[in-house]
Amino acid sequence: MMPNCKVNMILRWATPRAKRARPMGGRVHNFCFGLWLIGWASLIGGVPCRAAGDQDMRQLGSVGSTILSVEAKTVKIFGAGGTAGLDAYQSGFFISDKGHILTVWSTVLDVDEVAVVSSDGRRDEAVVIGIDPNLEIAVLQTKQPARAHFSLDETVTANVGQRVLAISNLFGIATGREMSSVQKGVIMTRTRLDARRGTFSSVYQGPVFVIDAMTNNPGAAGGALIDLNGRLLGMLGKELREARANIWLNYAIPMDQLTASVQKIIDGKSIAKTPVSRRVADRPNTLASLGIVLIPDVLTKTPPYIDAIVPETRADKAGLKIDDLILFFNSIRVTSQSMLRDELGFVDRGDRVTILVQRGNELKEFSLNGE
Amino acid sequence: MSKQPQFDNRFWLLRIRYSLARVSSWRYCLPISLSLAAGLLLISIGYGQTTPNPQPTGTLADAATNQVAVATLGTQSADSLEELSELEQAAFQAAVDKAARCVVQIETFGGREKVDGELVADGPTTGTIVGEDGWIISSLFNFRQQPGSILVALPDGSRAAARIVARDHSRELALLKVESNSRLPMPASALGERVTVGQWAIALGKTFDSNAVSQSVGIISAMGRAYGKAIQTDAKVSPVNYGGPLIDLAGRVIGILAPISTGGIMEGDSSQIYDSGIGFAVPFEDVLARLKRLQAGEDIHAGKLGVVTRQQNELSGPVRVVGATPGSPAAKSGVRSGDLIVAAGNVQVELLAHLRHALGPVDAGQAFRFTVRRGGVKLDLEATLAKTIPIYETRYLGLRADVDNGGARITYVEPSSPATKAGLQIGWVVTKCSEEKVASPRELRTHIAIAELDVPVKLVVKTDTESAKVVSLNVATWPANIPVGDQPSKPIDPNVTTQVLTLPLGDFPNKAAALVPSTASMAASGLLVVSPEPGEVDQPKFTGFWESFAKDRGWIVAYFSSANAKRWSLEESQLIGRVIGKLENSYRIDPSRTAVAGLGAGGQLALVGARLQMDKIAGVMTLAARLEGLNWREPNSPLQSLKFLFAGNDSVVEACDRLRKLGYPATPLPAPELNPGKLESLPIEQIKNWLIGLDRI
């Protein structure tokens, strides 16, 4: 019982407004994790420096100076929200000396002016100068020029396994002159947020860095992902639940995916929303058109076992047989009959398709010619 | 040393120094580490250029000495940070590259959409090769939807159909077999190497990509977790790498990542604490030790002993045996009531937790040796642990007793019960039960609770005429019917009054009150805790309804109301324990007469709360509660038992059946007209009779 009590107390303190259901234990530990990371950073950065004080020690401590230099480029953003489970804060960072700030496009920005607070405590008003609805990013501009900023020309990309730092105002814990929180981690993998069948509930569909620091927390979106030398790698994404593993995903969008769009916004060009949904083909394939009869679809995820093959049809000619279990259609994994039907519809009957089946213990691939 | 990637000595120092930074900053240890670091730097004067031998693993102690060397190293190195992080990254990468080929992606097809009410993700999962000829170990978590088909993406890029050959339910692992013509690459194992807390550990998974592993870097946080079954790491462990390996810096497998249920450590579903800084891996050694059995298709289960101890709190000791569940390995081992367990496996047992830790890693079917002290003599006993302990059904004699001069004086004998059939009379005092002394009703209750059903129990009783009459009788199982109301053992005192107390609940905002009869300050009382429908409780109406029961039977009746007027939250189930605790502070509460009642939506709360308080209550009743989702899994046990009464629509019968299968006495009370919002619709006579009957022996 005790861990739960503590969890609840911390949760009440950290997120007074109940957000949507989420794995509580993980979340709270994330929060503590964030706290001790700050401590970690100060230890790595500060202690050897101050204890020894000579030149060589400073070199070992230069993660600390990296953090200090990057902190000056990041901001805490405060705007609309605070009710109905929506947070009123997020993170962002300067990308030009003219006061341009890159952040995520969210309901926090649903006000005429948002408050932007730098790590030196300076408060500024900023307006949204443009958004990219496909990337869900926004560029803000402050009235005052920025004192320090990342340069879009100097962004780098990261390798899997590379050590990184994430800087954000997660949980809105930093206010006023307080610095944003620093988390360390490695790039776990580079993967795509894939829209197919709602795998991800994200508008952005491109590649992301998955990181093993707990950044998927309120307020972290818009934070900077940097390498140990302080170079910008990406921007922390919005809170997202990943459907492949059904977990909250800690990720950042690589800068190479953002730079062109950000430049367009700064140049005053507007970006239209491009539809992402796939269209049903003009002459869609159906099970009947292929000559396949499946076992009765009685479950939510009935496996697509073939119950009968209509003679002289495409399926028959290709060599599909009764009791084959269809696993892949055109290299797309189909886990149920309903999914197979949907996928069939996206492909025109005139096109050649491939079907991979399991027959007993064997896997067999068949190619079905177009009509 | 030869197995290490080729890095110079300096690299190890750098690596170890970082290990120290991580270890010492672990959570709350910051101040300690600061002083440690400062102290070491002082010691470093005079340490000179000596560099210690490279270490394959960085322990805290190693790291502490090596920190000093790093300090001196700085003078030799031109740009140490860049070099450090490059070397470090290269080391991680070398380790990952070495192990990556042995990590496979697993795809499942079909199966249930939801398990335990939670949507199952159908994305790819991870496995680790453990046999060249197609053996792959993975986490059971990855197959909980019971997929119709399983495919494994092999290192050469081909896919092969796989089947689950066996499951290790104790460690949440599944062994798969694929038919493959090519020989699969085997991972190096860290077998025989001492895994030390503080050393680097990398968690690998293949959910995101069938061609490349995902990696999370951390350290070993602890050994022997989850009752000796798991290694703990702060590398991020989640469904994206369950089934994958946890490797050391040499790319050798330390363990297999799995969502181990930590039992007493944390509440809640083990899969809910992913990515939390607390991740688990089953030691690879333990996996390999069981590989032959698994390959032969043998499922592995946690071994159970079935010994019954007085303590339920695992931090209490010494471990005094009260008995053994009839038919269990403990019963067959010859352990006896009164024995003191002093050692188990190779460890000393002082607390119940020690015994549980010794039992944790032992599988069903394996021998478990333990030592008991019996009357000053040490005896070594051995039991072959079982997968399940026979279902225990609550025992019943049909009498009630009071303390009397070092015995249990019978105060009531139920008609047509074993007690009546054996001729037991009110006023007789039981002094012995099956050769064991009976000093109180509680002791008699304990002896009867663990009595075999088909072996007659011999009671020695003191009657008006005989000082040691022997009565032999057969113990029965608890009757399911509601007892016919028996008369109070003492005449009703018209002078008993009641008062209503408000109970403070600490940091909970909920309101709670108790109706307390004046007898409560003199004698032990029964206690009924009511969790009503959410919303305000009409206190006068509530107390008026229960007043006669409280007065006549000497029961305290307490209630608490929800913080939110519309619903109960799960954490409010803790309130039941709070209320009992508050009243225990002021009154003597008889646990055999303590019950929880839930009305409507409060019913689920009562069930959850009761589970948390099993050692303090004897019964749970729900009135018009939804019982379809009843998810009670803990089987009945002799000294942590409950009696259930479910009143309401047809679902009560099915719910009772489910609990009876677990051995509990569960009584359905069909009452379709029951309205949880209206007290007057409650079948009060039956409820009272059930409550009164709770403390029968």
Domain boundary among A214, A236, A266: A266
CB-based contact B127:B140 (threshold 8 Å):
no
Sign of CA dihedral A326, A331, A336, A338: negative
Based on the structure, what is the number of domains in chain A? 2
Chain A: closest CA distance from residue B93 (Å): 7
The answer to whether residue A38 is domain-embedded is: no
Q: What is the pLDDT of residues B507-549, one digit of tens each?
A: 888 899 999 999 888 888 899 999 999 988 888 988 888 998 8
Selected for mutation to probe chain A from B26, B30, B89, B122 (highest A CB count within 10 Å) is: B122
Residues in chain B, total: 697
User: Both tokens of residue B306?
Assistant: 């079935």
Closest C-alpha to B529, from B577, B466, B491 = B577
CB-based contact A329:A367 (threshold 8 Å):
no
The answer to whether residue A41 is domain-embedded is: no
What confidence score (pLDDT) does residue A354 get? 92
DSSP class of residue B693 equals G
- DSSP string over B151-220: EEE-TTS-EEEEEEEEEETTTTEEEEEE--SSPPPPPPB-TTSPP-TTSEEEEEE-SS-SSS-EEEEEEE
What confidence score (pLDDT) does residue A46 get? 34
Structural domain containing residue A112: 63-266
The answer to whether residue A76 is domain-embedded is: yes
Q: What's the pLDDT band for B19 if we cut at 50, 70, 90?
A: very low
Q: What is the pLDDT of residues B38-72, one digit of tens each?
A: 433 333 333 333 333 334 443 333 333 333 333 33
State which amino acid sits at residue B556. I
Q: In this model, does residue B591 exceed pLDDT 80?
A: yes
To which residue do tokens 């990308």 refer? Answer: A95
Give the Cα separation of A169 and A92 in Å (integer). 9
Say yes or no: B678 and B556 in one domain: yes
State which amino acid sits at residue B94. A
Q: What percent of chain A has pLDDT over 90?
A: 40
Give the Cα separation of B442 and B388 in Å (integer). 28
Give the residue from chain B lying closest to A45, CA to CA.
B21
Beta-bridge mates of residue A356? A328, A365
Chain B: closest CA distance from residue A139 (Å): 30
Chain B: closest CA distance from residue A302 (Å): 6
| A279 C-beta neighbours (distance < 10 Å), count | 9
Cβ contacts of residue B574 below 8 Å, gap of 6+? Answer: A1, A4, A5, B508, B609, B612
Determine, for residues A32 and B277 on separate chains, whether the beta-carbon distance falls below 8 Å.
yes
Say yes or no: B376 and B407 in one domain: no
Q: What are phi and psi of A169, to 5 degrees?
A: -100, 60
**Is the peptide bond between B494 and the residue preceding it cis, with omega within 30 degrees of 0?**
no
Report the relative pairing of strands B408-413 and B429-433 from DSSP bridges: antiparallel
Q: What's the pLDDT band for B21 if we cut at 50, 70, 90?
A: very low
The answer to whether residue A207 is domain-embedded is: yes
Q: In this model, does residue B13 exceed pLDDT 80?
A: no
Q: In this model, does residue B450 exceed pLDDT 90?
A: no
The answer to whether residue B502 is domain-embedded is: yes
The answer to whether residue B487 is domain-embedded is: no
Domain boundary among B300, B324, B344: B300
Say yes or no: A260 and A298 in one domain: no
The answer to whether residue A58 is domain-embedded is: no
Cβ contacts of residue B291 below 8 Å, gap of 6+? Answer: B130, B131, B135, B175
Say yes or no: A202 and A308 in one domain: no
Say yes or no: B143 and B267 in one domain: yes
CB-based contact B614:B636 (threshold 8 Å):
no
DSSP class of residue B656 equals H
Structural domain containing residue B35: 9-77
Q: What are phi and psi of A143, to 5 degrees?
A: -70, -35
Closest C-alpha to B155, from B189, B183, B130 = B183
The answer to whether residue B575 is domain-embedded is: yes
Q: In this model, does residue A23 exceed pLDDT 90?
A: no
Q: In this model, does residue B27 exceed pLDDT 50?
A: no
Say yes or no: A185 and A291 in one domain: no
Give the Cα separation of B157 and B212 in Å (integer). 11
Q: What is the pLDDT of residues A111-168, one digit of tens each?
A: 888 999 998 889 999 999 999 998 999 999 999 899 899 999 888 889 898 989 999 9
The answer to whether residue A50 is domain-embedded is: no
Determine, for residues B212 and A327 on separate chains, whether the beta-carbon distance falls below 8 Å.
no
* Domain CATH number, residue A96: 2.40.10.120
Say yes or no: B210 and B92 in one domain: yes
Q: Dihedral (C-alpha) B675, B680, B682, B684: value to the nearest 10 degrees?
A: 180
Determine, for residues A212 and B24 on separate chains, whether the beta-carbon distance falls below 8 Å.
no
Say yes or no: A322 and A241 in one domain: no
Closest C-alpha to A250, from A191, A338, A320 = A191
The answer to whether residue B307 is domain-embedded is: no
The answer to whether residue A308 is domain-embedded is: yes
Selected for mutation to probe chain A from B23, B25, B115 (highest A CB count within 10 Å) is: B25
Say yes or no: A164 and A256 in one domain: yes
Q: In this model, does residue B255 exceed pLDDT 70?
A: yes
A126 or B389, greater pLDDT: A126
The answer to whether residue A29 is domain-embedded is: no
Q: In this model, does residue B391 exceed pLDDT 60?
A: yes
Q: In this model, does residue B4 exceed pLDDT 60?
A: no
The three-state DSSP-derived secondary structure of chain A is: CHHHHHHHHHHHHHCCCCCCCCCHHHHHHHHHHHHHHHHHHHHHHHHHHHHHCCHHHHHHCHHHHHHHHHHCCEEEEECCCCCCCCCCEEEEEECCCCCEEEEECCHHHCCCCEEEEECCCCEEEEEEEEEECCCCEEEEEECCCCCCCCCHHHCCCCCCCCEEEEEECHHHCCCCCCCCEEEEEEEEEEEECCCHHHCECCCCCCEEEEECCCCCCCCCCCCEEEECCCCEEEEECCCCEECCCCEECCEEEEHHHCHHHHHHHHCCCCCCCCCCCCCCCCCECCHHHHCEEECCCCCCCCCCEEEEECCCCHHHHHCCCCCCEEEEECCEECCCHHHHHHHHHCCECCCCEEEEEEECCEEEEEEECCC
The answer to whether residue B93 is domain-embedded is: yes
The answer to whether residue B3 is domain-embedded is: no
Cβ contacts of residue A275 below 8 Å, gap of 6+? Answer: none
Give the Cα separation of A38 and A170 in Å (integer). 12
Helix (H) or strand (E) holding B436: strand B436-437
Q: What's the pLDDT band for A175 if we cut at 50, 70, 90?
A: confident
Domain boundary among B241, B273, B300: B300
Q: In this model, does residue A101 exceed pLDDT 70?
A: yes
Q: In this model, does residue B83 exceed pLDDT 50?
A: yes
Report the relative pairing of strands B118-119 and B103-109 from DSSP bridges: unpaired
Say yes or no: B416 and B503 in one domain: no
| B176 C-beta neighbours (distance < 10 Å), count | 25
Say yes or no: A212 and A319 in one domain: no
Residue of B75, B89, B236 lying closest to A56 (CB–CB): B75
Say yes or no: B54 and B83 in one domain: no
* Domain CATH number, residue A341: 2.30.42.10
To which residue do tokens 């004699």 refer? Answer: B397
Q: In this model, does residue A18 exceed pLDDT 60?
A: no
Residues in chain A, total: 371
Say yes or no: B168 and B260 in one domain: yes
Closest C-alpha to B409, from B448, B457, B444 = B444
Radius of gyration of chain A (CA): 25
What confidence score (pLDDT) does residue B666 get? 92
Say yes or no: A201 and A250 in one domain: yes
What confidence score (pLDDT) does residue B340 get? 92
Determine, for residues A358 and B151 on separate chains, whether the beta-carbon distance falls below 8 Å.
yes
Q: Is B498 helix (H, G, I), strand (E, B) or coil?
A: strand
DSSP class of residue B695 equals G
Give the residue from chain B lying closest to A247, CA to CA.
B239
User: Both tokens of residue B640?
Assistant: 């942590």
The answer to whether residue B417 is domain-embedded is: yes
Q: Give the Å distances, CA to CA, from B581 to A2, A57, B449, B529, B578.
A: 15, 56, 26, 11, 5
* Domain CATH number, residue B647: 3.40.50.1820
* Domain CATH number, residue B250: 2.40.10.120
Say yes or no: A136 and A200 in one domain: yes
Q: Is B682 helix (H, G, I), strand (E, B) or coil?
A: coil
Say yes or no: B273 and B163 in one domain: yes
To which residue do tokens 């170079």 refer? Answer: A231
Helix (H) or strand (E) holding B384: strand B377-384
Say yes or no: A135 and A240 in one domain: yes
User: Both tokens of residue A74?
Assistant: 């990041």
Domain boundary among B350, B384, B418: B384
Give the Cα separation of A55 and A324 in Å (integer). 70
Say yes or no: B253 and B183 in one domain: yes
Say yes or no: A214 and A350 in one domain: no
In A, which residues are within 8 Å of B265 by CB distance?
3
Say yes or no: B117 and B258 in one domain: yes
| B299 C-beta neighbours (distance < 10 Å), count | 18
Determine, for residues B275 and A47 on separate chains, whether the beta-carbon distance falls below 8 Å.
no
Closest C-alpha to B275, from B203, B382, B348 = B203
Give the Cα separation of B692 and B483 in Å (integer). 8
Q: What is the pLDDT of residues B474-491, one digit of tens each?
A: 999 998 888 876 665 566
In A, which residues are within 8 Å of B21 by CB distance?
40, 43-44
Q: What is the pLDDT of residues A25-53, one digit of tens each?
A: 444 444 445 545 454 444 443 333 333 33
| B81 C-beta neighbours (distance < 10 Å), count | 20
CB-based contact B172:B199 (threshold 8 Å):
no
Give the Cα separation of B17 and B37 in Å (integer). 11
* Domain CATH number, residue B431: 2.30.42.10
Determine, for residues A163 and B77 on separate chains, whether the beta-carbon distance falls below 8 Å.
no
Say yes or no: A257 and A299 in one domain: no
Sign of CA dihedral A315, A320, A321, A323: negative
CB-based contact A41:A182 (threshold 8 Å):
yes
Mean pLDDT of chain B: 82
Based on the structure, what is the number of domains in chain B? 5
Q: What's the pLDDT band for B151 if we cut at 50, 70, 90?
A: very high
Chain B: closest CA distance from residue A92 (Å): 25
Report the relative pairing of strands B253-257 and B230-233 from DSSP bridges: unpaired
Say yes or no: A176 and A294 in one domain: no
In A, which residues are within 8 Å of B575 by CB distance?
none
Say yes or no: B188 and B245 in one domain: yes
What confidence score (pLDDT) does residue B101 get? 93
Helix (H) or strand (E) holding B379: strand B377-384
Angle at B21 between CA B82 and CA B281, to 5 degrees: 105
Q: In this model, does residue B628 exceed pLDDT 70?
A: yes
Say yes or no: B652 and B509 in one domain: yes
Give the Cα separation of B227 and B260 in Å (integer). 10
State which amino acid sits at residue B592. S
Q: Is B389 helix (H, G, I), strand (E, B) or coil?
A: coil
Determine, for residues B123 and A199 on separate chains, whether the beta-carbon distance falls below 8 Å.
yes
